[in-house]
Every structure is written in structure tokens, then in C-alpha cells.
Structure 1
Amino acid sequence: MSDAATPAVTCAGAPADWQNPLRDKRDKRMPRIAGPCGVVIFGVTGDLATKKLMPAIYDLANRGLLPPTFALIGFARRDWKDQDFGDIVLTAVKAHARTPFRQEVWDRLAEGIRFVEGAFDDDAAFGRLADTLKKLDAERGTGGNHAFYLSIPPKAFPQVLEQLSTSGLATKPDGCWSRVVIEKPFGHNLKSAEELNTLVNSVFPESSVFRIDHYLGKETVQNILALRFANQLFDPIWNAHYVDHVQITMAEDIGLGGRGGYYDGVGAARDVIQNHLLQLLALTAMEEPVNFSPDELQAEKIKVLSATRLVAPLDDNTSRGQYTAGWQGNEQAVGLLEEEGFSQTSTTETYAAITLDVDTRRWAGVPFYLRTGKRLGRRVTEIALVFKRAPHLPFDDTMTDELGKNALVIRVQPDEGITLRFGSKVPGHAMEVRDVNMDFSYGSAFAEDSPEAYERLILDVLLGEPSLFPVNQEVELAWKILDPALENWASHGKPEPYESGGWGPESAFEMLRRSGREWRRP
């Protein structure tokens, strides 16, 4: 590739608040703003790019968090010009952006939109991409700073990474940065994750690798840290002396729809437990970090994951299922094997539940129950700390018939907030104690809307802020925890069927009943 026609570009970083030199440093409401940069998206024709990435980039621009010279570059096998790609982005923005459409914001963003046609095995196409980025650096002042977003199937990672390396796009001179963003799944098991990490780090240093787990960008997930470490109220009871068990649930009320090609062979455990739910466990169980710097936060999560193991025997303490036809609300739903893209002999699970122990002083003896599934009773993600009963109740049995265990429930989605369940006297002459809820809701407590997870995470990539991104060791430890369950299930034939609209297979309920516990019904 030749850069004879392209003026030389001097790499120049910029302070995070470079757009606003008059910014009051004491105003904590003012977010950090990305400096000069551009984002290259591989896989711009996919649902993720259309429904999440492009709208999130527009929303960041609309909130004033991107520089005026920001550039967005699409790469795909399409016979498109820059304007054609711009029209695709505009359609995605109008359909899926969370902030109001403003023509002046769009016009400024559109000035930096470019498209490069090519396949992943096309050396010349990556040469054209390099030339395009050099021209943008010179013409728009993107500063030689580029993030490469791999919104592509994992099997294409090696080829794209090799092309980024051989074309020189992965390495930059001092003062510039080059970062890669990788979507899950991060491997298929521990061995493949180790191979993927080795491959990625052969091209990009770990400090330039951002593995997206969009759950970590959710406001309520980050609020776990505020709830635990900003309040003296909860710390004394956040341990095995008071907590009976912890339930972490991610339930969906939808089926696979058109995702059969992706999902078959992956399954619920790999798709959700290995990343989302184990990250939620780490944030729930970790010790207080010295500070919230990336290194300190990641170190505490790694300690927890290192101490986490499946509870044996696995046949009794894990469960997997596959949804069958049934009623989802007032609609008749088909079973998984009738969904497009699935074989009648598929053993892919759509429900998975596991029991974990965290072998630390704080949590010894407290089981952590993780579950996820599709076609369940409702869409909900929550973390529930269920507390032990009081050691002595000075009431007759009839007075506490309707009293359950105290619980602290962090609602990640929907209806984001926190619920505290405790016993209270029922009004009247008799002493009758019943469960009541005390609720905190984000929607009613704050006027500001929470940013969408991808907005937060994309901005953090551009700022070089890695706190919310799992590092190599976290990914590999998560697979080390889950692999024994996957291997055990592989020898057991088909998953257990469960009816759409219910709450999973019978074996999942038995898993808790053996210890006298039961799943929450969100």
C-alpha cells in the first residue's frame, strides 16, 4: 500500500476534556469526553452493529461525548460507497437510537463516515482500509487513534487479526493507540479460550484488548459496587454468618427465533453463565478493592473466581433443559426443535443451572445458585441474597405462617432497582407477621436516564478505561469453573424438556429442594 498521496500524520493524544477547556474540575456530573479517534466496525451488516453499535455511537455524539472530528468506518463485502453506508447508519440510528434525532448532530457525524469494501482474506482491502485511516487522520484530525470492533463470528477472528497485524494497523508509533474490541463468546471451553487469548495477544498487547461483556456496562451492575462499598449498612451482614444462599438469575421469555445457526452447539451455559452470571457472582462476592482502578478491581474479581468451584456430585447440583411447546403469555410457542436451524437430534440446552461454592472466609458454606433460560415465565435478571432465619422467633407458629426469609434483591433488568424483603406486623389486634418489600427504583429516584450499556463500553474503549472489561485470567478462570459441568452434560444425551412459559426443568427445582431451599419466582 502506498501513502504517497496522504500527508504525514503526527500522533497526538488529547486530554479527556479537550473539547471544553473551561470545564469546572469540581463538577462530578461532567463525563469524560473521548479525544481524537475513529472506530472501524467489522461486521456492519449484522444485528449487533445495526441495533446496538451504530445507535450507541450516535447517542454518544448526541450527548457531546465524541469529538467533532470522530470517524466511523465500516468494512464488509458489499458494493457500497461512503454514502450508501451512511444511509445504512442513518436508518439504524432512526430505528434504534435512545436519544432524540438531531439533524445537526447527524450532519457532523456523517462527515466522518467511510466505507471499505472487502473480504477478510483480501490483502488489498486491508491496504485500502489503512489508506482510508491515514486520510482521515490527515483530513479530520483523528490523531492516528483507532479502535477495531470485531462484530464477527469467532471463527473469523484469526484471519482479521492476522490482517490487522500484517497491514500494520495493529501497531502504532508512540503517542497513538490501536485497540481491538472482541465480542463474546471468548472461546468454547478452557482450551479454546487459552488459544484465542494467545492469538489476540500475539497481535495486540493485553492493555489494548477490550472484551465486551455488555452486562458489565449496565448501570445496575455497576451499582453493586456502590451498594456494597459506599454503605456501612450492608457490609456487616454480607457474609456467611447471615447469608443463607445467593441466587443469580437471567431469565428470558423469548425463544431462539432466527438465531438457531448461532445458538445450536453453544447453549445457555456457554452463552450466559460463563460470562454474564460469573461476572455478577464475582462482583457480589469480591472483597473491597483498595480503589476502583482497573488493576485493583480486576485483582479482586480474579481472587473470587480462583476460589469458586462447582459443587459435587454434578448430577445432583447442576441442571440443563430444552424448552418444548407451550403457552408464553397468551401466545402459543413452539419448542426448540421446531425452531428454524435446529436438528431434531440437537442436545443444545436452553436452560442451565449450576451450584457453586466460593471457598473464602467470607462465603464458606454459602451456595451460589446460577440459572439462565429461554422461554421462561418472564424476562428478568436479578441477584438475590437470601438471609438465614433469625435464630430465635418469640412468636407462635401461627403468627409467622406467611413469613419467609429476608432477602436483598438487586434487579438488573427490567425495572432496575433494589428490593429489601423483611417481616412486618399485619395491621390488626392479632400479632401476625408477613413479608413486605421496600423498593428503590432507578426510574423514580433519578431524573437522568441510564446510558445504554454499549454507550458506556464504547466510550470506555475510546478513553482506554478497561475497568469493565474482563482480562485473560478472568475469562480462563470462568471456563475452568464451567468446563466440568459441560463435560458431564456431554455424556448424558439430551437435556430434560420443560414447557415454554414455565420456570425450567424439574431437576432444577430438585437441585434446591435437596437442601430445603427453593428458587425465587421473580
Structure 2
Amino acid sequence: MRTRLRTRLAQRTAQHTQCGPNRSPNRISPLAIDSRRRLPLYIMSESPNWSNPLRDSRDLRLPRIAGPCSLVIFGVTGDLAQKKLLPAVYDLANRGLLPPSFGLTGFARRDWTQERFIEFVKAAVQAHCRTPFKESTWRNLAAGIRFVQGTFDDPEAFERLSATVQELDRDRGTQGNHAFYMSVPPRAFPQVAKQLAASGLSRSSEGAWRRVIIEKPFGHDLASAKELDSVVSEVFDPSSVFRIDHYLGKETVQNLLALRFANAMYEPIWNANYVDHVQITMAEDIGIGGRAGYYDGIGAARDVIQNHLLQLMALTAMEEPVSFTAKDLTAEKTKVLSAVRLPKDLAANTARGQYAKGWQGSHEVVGYLEEKGIDPKSTTETYAAIRLDIDTRRWAGVPFYLRCGKRLGKRVTEIAVVFKRAPHLPFEQTAVRELGKNAIVIRVQPDEGVTMRFGAKVPGGSTMEVRDVNMDFSYGRSFTENSPEAYERLILDVLLGDPPLFPTTEEVNLSWEILDPIEQFWSTLGQPQAYRAGTWGPAQADEMLARDGRHWRMP
């Protein structure tokens, strides 16, 4: 196998390094050795007439490697950058997926020297990196690290940033390819975008690219999302705008597509003929932490349902795409979101709550209104549950229940496809009193995997006693490969210009069209219903399903 791969690689490299009007033998050079396959890794240039031989779509075993480029992070001193973004960049470098000609620039208000910033990055990497820390990898990465001090309203700071980017082009060979990551509050997006335009940083030169990465939420309602999209589109080409939803970068979410479309046993029953309902849950056992300034006024539905859960619903309900390209995946997800119908009675089919003081494990915790920085009269919900219907042939009559919340019983994100009861049960009533509905549960986090729930005969005895049992598949136990963090996958996709995992403008707008009427209705209700910390939400949410003769799964 290794010999065949080396031969194929050598042939492909020879083809791409032939001299000609559009090729240069200097465009490709060995970078490192892949420790798993012992194959040379190569740098690729994003020139229109140049392609990386290791990115040939016909051979998915070969790694995708970013070309010369840099990443600029706004808000680089925040929690997201420290715990996710900076470690992800290091892990990509450690896996040989970033070129030697890579630069990393931090933009923040702190009055730091470049040396102080490099120490900060190293500390964040050592504390949170997924792969082993190696001094050789760190030295190569640190040589391309820069820091720019400034505020978003300071044009001179962006001029300094422009000079830094040009320095990286000159000294690191980043070739004019730069991505700008907005790890900042949503209200700062338009200001940063306009500063990038005014300083010329958003303009691409011939054969190079500029891209912008925007963290969710993209707006706080449909009107603000459209306004923000208008501002960003004036600065960057729509194809250069990447809206991050880190849930779409999780291996389990991507494997949902494999579960559905690579296995003949599931797709025939993935429809209203067999499915009773679908539950999508994102539960957190933590409170708001230090996010009071962001969270209050946003709430659980805007924070989680509008992006994460509606995207999970779209992937669960969509038809099989023609291919897994961005265009075809988006087309199918958009059809689902376009077909969503809200219930007529929002009072009966939605629920919202606010955690009160209670016990989280062995620790007593305060309620939301007692959290530091929260208005004691706040009506922001920390729990939200809604019922949605999808008016398509496949899903007509199947309700989708979405719920999320903080300070719940445990941390878990899952998609549960619950099936109808068997039409005929030739067993005594006493023998099946515990028998429930079959279910396929896709566990997104923390224990990624799939559980199938079905009825089985209890061993022994003279009667046919049937009991519900679980058959469990865990990614961690089934594969020796370590799953990369979601941000590793997504950052690499941005640097490669590969957009399948990023929501489009249309998807974002359709999601707000679904949520806005619910938020408007809730705004007339006053205080959310309280629920004790460590429980599974307000009684209102249980009543919502009870009206339909159903109940929430206990993860």
C-alpha cells in the first residue's frame, strides 16, 4: 500500500512540476513527513493555474494542506481565541497541515509587545492543544506570529495591521492570502468590516485572496442579519464570507450524513411512515459564567436554536444531496428550512424558562437573576423548547422538538429519531409493559457515537418478556484515529477556500424567519418560568410534549 501511494504521489508531483507557460518547478517543495504514512507533505500555491497534487479529490486518503497564507484574529485575548482558535492553529501546524509560509497576527487593545503576545499564545496552546506540544513545531509557528495593538475605531491601528500583513507577505511568503477572523461581539462586525475596507485589507490582488470569518450569532433577528450581510457584502465578495457554526465541524455531525446515506438499513425508514417524532437536544450543566454582557438580552433561543439546532435539524431531515459540495448540501438544507411550519398555538407548542438557584452535582449554585452583571428583572430565557413541522412528503405529520438550556441535568447534545410502535404486538400485556419506542440516537457530545434502542427478550423464563435495550457505537472505541477539534476542521476549510460546512446567507435568513415570530410572541409574556438548577427545565416544557402524548428523552 505504501509503495503504491509513493508511486502515485511521485507521478502526480512530476506532472505538476513540469515546466510550461503556467507551471514552475519551484511551486512545490517538500515540507515534512506525515508520521502516519511516512509520505512527504507539500506546500501548495493558490494560483489559479496551480493545484496541490495532495488535494486530488479522487484520493481522499491524502491530506489537504493549506497554501501560503496568514490568519488575523480580532479579539485574540478572549476565551474563544485562548481555548479554541489558538490551540486549533497549533494543532493544524503540528499535523503538518499548515505551510512554513504561514503567519498568525493578533489584534487587541492590550498594550503588549510582540514578545509578550507570543508568550500568551504559547501558554494558551500548552493549556489547550489536542496534539502533543513539540518545541520544533512551536518554533516554526512562533516565527510567523505578530501582534497589533489597537481598537476597532482607530484607523491608524488598521494601517499598522496593513503594514504587518505586507511584512508577512515579504518576510514569510504569505503571497497576499489573508483570512480575518472576527472573534468579537456581533455589534463590532460592521465596524471592523468597514475598517478593513478603508485600509485596503479586504482587497485581493491578482492570484491572491482575502476572506472573512464571522462567529455566530449573525445578527439578532432577520432585519439585523440582512443589514449585517449588506455591510459585509460591500467589503468582501459573498464567496469570501465564512459564517462559523462550530457544530458543523464536529465529526459526529458530519457522520450523520454517513449514517444516513452510506447505509442501506436506515434511509428506507427515515420518513413519516416509520418515524413518530424527532428530538434535538443541546443541554449544558453550566451557567452563563462571565458572559453576562453577551447573554442577557440574547437568550437561549437566539444563542443556540437559530444556528446550531436548526442546522442539525436540516441535516437530519434533508434529502440525499447530489454530492457533498457546498452548492448541493446548501440546496438540500435550504429546502428543509423553507418547508418549516410554525405551530398556530405558540403558547402550547413553545416553552421558555430561567434557571433558579439549586444544586449542580454537589455544588450549590445561584440562579440566573443572581448572576453577576444580570439585571434582577431580566426576562431573558436560559431554556427554550419549540415544536416545528416540516411540510414535505418525507416528514408530513412528524413533529421536530428542539430544546436547549443552561444549568440542566448534564451536558449533552443529541439527535433522537424516535420510531412508531410496532403495529401488532403478539405478546401478553404484562410481558411488554416496559416496552417503549425504537430510537436511533446520534450523540454529538460529549461521548460521540450512535445508540440504537430496541426491544429484546429477557433471558430465561417461560414467557416472552420483552424489554428495551441499547446497542451502542462509540467513535472513541471504534477508531484509533483522534478526532480533530471542530475549529481545526473549519479553520483549515477557510484557508483552503472549501465552504461545505458553512451556513449561507439564505440559510441564516430562513433560520431567523423561523425564530423571529416565536421571539416576538415571547416578548409579550414577561418573566420566563423558573426551573431549579440541575433539573431538566421548566414544567411548561414537559406539558408541551404531554399534550401530544409524548415525553422528553432522558439522556
TM-score w.r.t. structure 1 length? 0.96
**TM superposition shift of 1:30:** 2.6
Q: In the alignment, what sits opposite 2:3?
A: none
CA contact (8 A) 2:55 2:64 kept: no
Mark the CA change 1:22 to 1:382 in structure 2 (over 3 Å): closer, same or farther: closer
**TM superposition shift of 1:167:** 1.0
Q: Does 2:399 match 1:399?
A: no
**TM superposition shift of 1:15:** 8.2
**TM superposition shift of 1:45:** 1.3
Q: In the alignment, what sits opposite 2:155?
A: 123
d(CA) in 2 for partners of 1:252, 1:309: 27
Within-5 A mapping of 1:170-181: 170-181=202-213
Q: Does 2:542 match 1:509?
A: yes
> Of the candidates 90, 109, 125, which is equivalent to residue 122 of structure 2?
90
Within-5 A mapping of 1:125-274: 125-274=157-306
d(CA) in 2 for partners of 1:343, 1:31: 50
Q: In the alignment, what sits opposite 1:347?
A: 379
Q: Does 2:459 match 1:435?
A: no
Identity %, equivalent residues: 68
Mark the CA change 1:14 to 1:521 in structure 2 (over 3 Å): closer, same or farther: farther
Q: Does 2:52 match 1:19?
A: no
Secondary structure of 1:210's partner? strand
1:318-363, Cα deviation, whole Å (9 max, x unpaired): 0000000111111111111111111110000000000000000000
Letter in 2 for 1:262: Y
d(CA) in 2 for partners of 1:374, 1:356: 21
d(CA) in 1 for partners of 2:221, 2:311: 17
Letter in 1 for 2:43: Q
**TM superposition shift of 1:82:** 1.6
Q: Does 2:513 match 1:480?
A: yes
- After the TM superposition, which segments of 4 or more aligned residues of structure 1 sit over 4 Å from their partners? 12-17, 20-27
**TM superposition shift of 1:118:** 1.5
Q: In the alignment, what sits opposite 1:105?
A: 137
Q: In the alignment, what sits opposite 1:447?
A: 480
1:174-230, Cα deviation, whole Å (9 max, x unpaired): 210000000011111111111111111111111000001000000000001101111
Mark the CA change 1:317 to 1:252 in structure 2 (over 3 Å): closer, same or farther: same
Count residues with an aligned counterpart.
511
d(CA) in 2 for partners of 1:379, 1:443: 18
CA contact (8 A) 1:253 1:375 kept: yes
CA contact (8 A) 2:245 2:502 kept: yes
Q: In the alignment, what sits opposite 1:38?
A: 70
Letter in 1 for 2:91: D
Within-5 A mapping of 1:313-462: 313-428=345-460, 429-462=462-495
d(CA) in 2 for partners of 1:309, 1:52: 36
d(CA) in 2 for partners of 1:343, 1:129: 38
Secondary structure of 2:392's partner? coil
1:360-381, Cα deviation, whole Å (9 max, x unpaired): 0000000000000001110000
d(CA) in 1 for partners of 2:550, 2:219: 34
d(CA) in 2 for partners of 1:227, 1:261: 40
Letter in 1 for 2:551: E
Q: Does 2:331 match 1:299?
A: yes
CA contact (8 A) 1:15 1:35 kept: no
d(CA) in 2 for partners of 1:346, 1:400: 48
**TM superposition shift of 1:27:** 5.5
Secondary structure of 2:294's partner? helix
Secondary structure of 2:99's partner? coil
CA contact (8 A) 2:54 2:64 kept: no
Q: In the alignment, what sits opposite 2:6?
A: none
1:41-87, Cα deviation, whole Å (9 max, x unpaired): 11111111111111110010001100012100011122222211111
d(CA) in 2 for partners of 1:312, 1:505: 22
d(CA) in 1 for partners of 2:447, 2:106: 35
**TM superposition shift of 1:260:** 1.1
d(CA) in 2 for partners of 1:370, 1:14: 50
Q: Aligned Cα RMSD in Å?
A: 1.6
Secondary structure of 2:224's partner? helix
Mark the CA change 1:342 to 1:504 in structure 2 (over 3 Å): closer, same or farther: same
Q: In the alignment, what sits opposite 1:494?
A: 527
d(CA) in 2 for partners of 1:333, 1:31: 46
Letter in 2 for 1:496: Q
d(CA) in 1 for partners of 2:72, 2:268: 47
Q: In the alignment, what sits opposite 1:310?
A: 342
Q: In the alignment, what sits opposite 1:50?
A: 82
1:114-135, Cα deviation, whole Å (9 max, x unpaired): 1112111211211111111111
Letter in 1 for 2:429: D
Q: Structure 2: 5+ residue runs without aligned partners?
A: 1-23, 30-40, 45-51
CA contact (8 A) 2:55 2:65 kept: no
TM-score w.r.t. structure 2 length? 0.90
d(CA) in 2 for partners of 1:495, 1:236: 41
Q: Does 2:80 match 1:80?
A: no
Secondary structure of 1:58's partner? helix
CA contact (8 A) 1:14 1:35 kept: no
Q: In the alignment, what sits opposite 1:4?
A: none
Secondary structure of 2:268's partner? helix
1:303-322, Cα deviation, whole Å (9 max, x unpaired): 10000122120000000000
Mark the CA change 1:512 to 1:24 in structure 2 (over 3 Å): closer, same or farther: closer
CA contact (8 A) 2:220 2:302 kept: yes
Letter in 1 for 2:364: Q
Mark the CA change 1:457 to 1:15 in structure 2 (over 3 Å): closer, same or farther: farther
Letter in 2 for 1:38: S
Letter in 1 for 2:406: K
**TM superposition shift of 1:29:** 3.0
d(CA) in 1 for partners of 2:513, 2:238: 20
Secondary structure of 1:409's partner? strand
d(CA) in 2 for partners of 1:218, 1:377: 23
Q: In the alignment, what sits opposite 1:7?
A: none
Mark the CA change 1:159 to 1:502 in structure 2 (over 3 Å): closer, same or farther: same
d(CA) in 2 for partners of 1:308, 1:22: 42
**TM superposition shift of 1:155:** 1.2
CA contact (8 A) 1:310 1:482 kept: no
CA contact (8 A) 2:54 2:65 kept: no
Answer 1 or 2: higher relative contact order, Cα 8 Å, separation at least 6. Answer: 1
**TM superposition shift of 1:91:** 0.7
d(CA) in 2 for partners of 1:257, 1:121: 28
